[in-house]
Amino acid sequence: MGFCFLDKLVATGCWQEAGRKSRTFAGLMQVLTIIDRYILRKFLSAFVFVVAILTLVICVIDFVEKNDDFIRSKPGLEKILGIYYLNFAPYYANMLSPITVFIATVFVTSQMAARTEIIAILSSGVSFLRLLRPYLVGAALIGAGIFWLNGYVIPQANRRRVAFEITYLKNPFTYDGRNVHIKVAPNTYAYLESYSTAFNTGYRFTLETIENRVLKVKTRAERFVWQPKTQRWRLEDYTIRRLGIDGSETFTKGQILDTVLRLTPQDFSSDYMRYETLTTPELTQYIDEMQMRGADSTATYQIEKYLRVTFPFAIIILTVLGVILSARKARGGVGLQIAIGFLLAFVYIIFFIMSRSIAQAGFMNALLACWLPNLVFSGIGFLLYKTVPR
């Protein structure tokens, strides 16, 4: 009853045309190319629709939640919409992309199965793997776009979003570190008793150069102050002690000395969501810098770096899994299949959040934690593939 577009395409005109061409491979590919475009168009349009709807809902919920903060800080409607939510929307659209592509896949495929389009395609001799081609093309296009956005575009938007949150939604930041030790070069170590973010000034500063466990140079200063014009640190009331190979010592004292260090005021500023504001090259450089300084709190940044690679693969894996789950025609309609799709999507989210939290706590390798959800769902997809109609 009521053959739809694909039923007519495969069962009548186009497929018969391929038969008149002795069912040559070229004729078959011509028919399947039309089907590919049909599925790809429905898949991409459903993905864009789901992303837009979910992002809009999240923005509305977020606005209601933060309305009191907006009233208190009074940033103005132009900044709220033009700065915050303009950069907030792509951030969440990107974050939800693996789930939205899964939901879109289930929605499109289950509708096609309900209208017997999947049956018509498979009955014409098309394999299930060949049916996956337009989905894989669409998932690859989305994945490539997400990879580029994650690495270079979203971080730029996050900088404006995070800056807005720090200014209008968070309490004023004050650096409260005391007796801070920082490795600023392979053989150079800095120490400061305290630091004032209001004046970009550190107090009781010490800089030591140690080679082969032997102290070579030690510089002390009562204050070290950032100079925005020269982009250098100014040491005030300093003393430089140099130790010679023969055990001799020389001292140099002065009031002011400008010097270059691998430190900036940003190292003492708020690190709230900093990992989300760095492009991929900047993120790699920052991790290397942190590891050079001997920091043991790089797991969050490493996880962010690995996730930017795993996200495109997650989109492909979840797309294939969505097709497998919803390709069979159900007597009760598509409601159950869509519900199962949503359930698995939320299971993936919970699994992803748990593995990330475990890695941040140091109980799991960061690389393994980022790939584990994809590996597990790949295994689930492989097992479910054995049950699909062919």
Note whether residue 285 is domain-resident. Answer: no
One domain for residues 11 and 100: yes
Best-predicted range by mean pLDDT (44-58, 185-199, 237-251):
44-58
Burial of 161 (0-12, 13-18, 19+ CB in 10 A): buried
> Does residue 13 surpass a pLDDT of 60?
no
Specify whether 197 is located in the same domain as 336. no
| pLDDT of residue 136 exceeding 50 | yes
The answer on pLDDT for 9 being more than 60 is no
Summarize the confidence of residues 185-200 as an average pLDDT: 89
Q: Return the minimum-mean-pLDDT range out of 23-27, 178-182, 248-252, 262-266.
A: 23-27
Amino acid at 193: E
Q: How far apart, in whole angstroms, are the C-alpha atoms of residue 33 and residue 18?
A: 12
Q: Which of 268, 295, 329 is the last residue of a domain?
A: 268
* Domain's final residue, options 246, 268, 290: 268
Residue 289: inside a domain: no
Spatial distance between the Cα atoms of 30 and 33, rounded to a whole number of angstroms: 5
Residues 223 and 354 in one domain: no
Which pair of structure tokens corresponds to residue 91?
Answer: 């951030």
Shared domain check, 239 and 118 = no
pLDDT-derived band at 271 (thresholds 50, 70, 90) equals confident
Q: Is 208 left (phi over 0), alpha (psi -120 to 50) or beta?
A: beta
The Cα 21–Cα 28 span in angstroms is 9
Assign residue 22 a region (left: φ > 0; alpha: ψ between -120 and 50; beta: otherwise).
Answer: left
Asked if 221 and 310 sit in the same domain, the reply is no
Report how far apart, in Å, the C-alpha atoms of 381 and of each of 62, 231, 314, 385 are. Answer: 34, 54, 12, 6
Q: Which of 296, 319, 315, 318 is nearest to 307 (CA)?
A: 315
Note whether 128 and 187 are same-domain residues. no
Asked, for residue 233, whether it belongs to a domain, the answer is yes
Structural domain contains residue 293: no
Shared domain check, 213 and 111: no
- Domain membership of residue 227 (yes or no) is yes
For 319, the domain range is 5-170+304-385
Query: Would residue 275 count as lying in a domain?
Result: no
189: enclosing H helix or E strand? strand 188-196
Is there a domain that residue 175 lies in?
no
Classify residue 277: in a domain, yes or no.
no
Looking at the structure, do residues 200 and 138 belong to the same domain, yes or no?
Answer: no
Query: Is the CB of residue 351 less than 8 Å from the CB of residue 370?
Result: no
Counting every residue written for the chain, the total comes to 390
Taking 90 as the threshold, does the pLDDT of residue 79 lie above it?
Answer: yes
Does residue 50 sit in the same domain as residue 24? yes
Domain count, the chain: 2
Tokens of 383: 């097992």
Domain boundary among 242, 268, 294: 268
pLDDT in tens, 353-389: 888 888 877 788 888 888 988 898 888 888 888 776 5
Domain co-membership, 49 together with 82: yes
More confident residue, 334 or 340: 340
Question: Within its chain, how far is the Cα of 303 from the centroid?
Answer: 9
pTM of the model: 0.78
Same domain, 10 and 137: yes
* Residue 105 contacts residue 43 (beta carbons within 8 Å): yes
Cα–Cα distance for residue pair 20/29, rounded to 1 Å? 14
Which whole number is the average pLDDT over 317-322? Answer: 90
What is the distance between the alpha carbons of residues 239 and 252, in angstroms, rounded to a whole number?
6
Q: List the beta strands (DSSP E) in 299-388.
A: none
Q: Are residues 165 and 311 in the same domain?
A: yes
Which of 47-51, 65-69, 271-275 has the lowest average pLDDT? 271-275
